[in-house]
Amino acid sequence: MANLDLQCGTVYSIYEAGQCSSGDNKTLLSLISNLSENSLNDSVYPSDGLFNNLNIEIATPLGDLNYYKFDARHESYYPLENNLVFKLSSQLGLIDSYSEKETPFFNRYFGGGASSIRGFEINSLGPTYSNGSAKGGELSFLTTTSLISPLPIDDSQNMRIGVFAEIGSIHESISNIDSEDLRASTGLAFSWYTPIGPIGVFWSKPLLKKPNDRLETFAFSLGSAF
C-alpha cells in the first residue's frame, strides 16, 4: 500500500475539489501486471523486429482510489532498400473508475508535444477546464508511421533522419468519444544519440487541426531516440 501526498495546486484545487477538498493524502493499493515482447535487433536504432508491451493496473477497494488502467504499446520495424527503415508505432491508454469515486485527475492522459502528437504544443490537446488549462482525458490513442535513414555522412551511426505522419486523440471519457478530437500531423525528424542520451529535433506541420489549437512547428526533446 502506498501513501500519496498530492500537491493539488490552484487549478486542481478549484476544478478537482472533490478529490482535493478532503486533503491531499491518499492511500493506494494496486495490482499491476505487465507483459512484454521484444525482438528488436538494436536497443537504440533498430532496423528489424518488434516490441509489444501491455500494462494493466487495478487500484483495489482497500485504498482511497478505485480505478483500472490499461496501457498498450506496439513498435515494429521493417528494413527496406538503401538502408531505409519503415517504423510503425501505436499507443492506446485508458483509465476509468469502477466505483462512484472519480478517476484520479493525476492519472489522466494528455496530448501534444514531442512524445505525443507533434505539431501541437505539449499537453495542449484534449479536454480543458473553463479557464483553458489542460484537463486530460481517460482515453488516449496515437499511431505513427516513419521512414528512417542514416545520414549520408561519415560517422553518422549515432544519427538518424526521417519523415513521419501521425494521428491521435485525447478523449474526456470512454463513454464520450468524439471524432472531432482527432488530430494529425506530418514532419521531419532528426535524432542524435549523444553520450548524455538521445536528442531529438522535430519540424512538424499539422494536417488535422482546429482554429483554437496551439501549434508548435519546431520542437526539441531530450530522451527520445526517434
Q: Which helix (H) or strand (E) holds 15?
A: helix 9-15
pLDDT of 22 > 60? The answer is no
Residue 218 located in a structural domain: yes
What pLDDT band is residue 138 in, cutting at 50, 70 and 90? very high
* Domains of the chain: total: 1
Residue 112 located in a structural domain: yes
pLDDT of 23 > 80? The answer is no
DSSP 96-116: EESSSSPPPGGG-B-B-STTS
Residue 212 located in a structural domain: yes
Residue 23 located in a structural domain: no
Residue 18 located in a structural domain: no
pLDDT of 174 > 80? The answer is yes
For residues 130-136, average pLDDT: 88
Q: So what's the pLDDT on residue 13?
A: 83
**pLDDT exceeding 70 applies to what percent of the chain?**
95
Q: The CATH number of the domain where 116 resides is what?
A: 2.40.160.50
For residues 65-71, average pLDDT: 94
pLDDT of 193 > 80? The answer is yes
Residue 76 located in a structural domain: yes
- Segments forming the whole domain that contains residue 167: 35-54+66-222
pTM, whole model, 2 decimals? 0.88
Q: So what's the pLDDT on residue 15?
A: 87
Q: What mean pLDDT value characterizes the chain?
A: 89
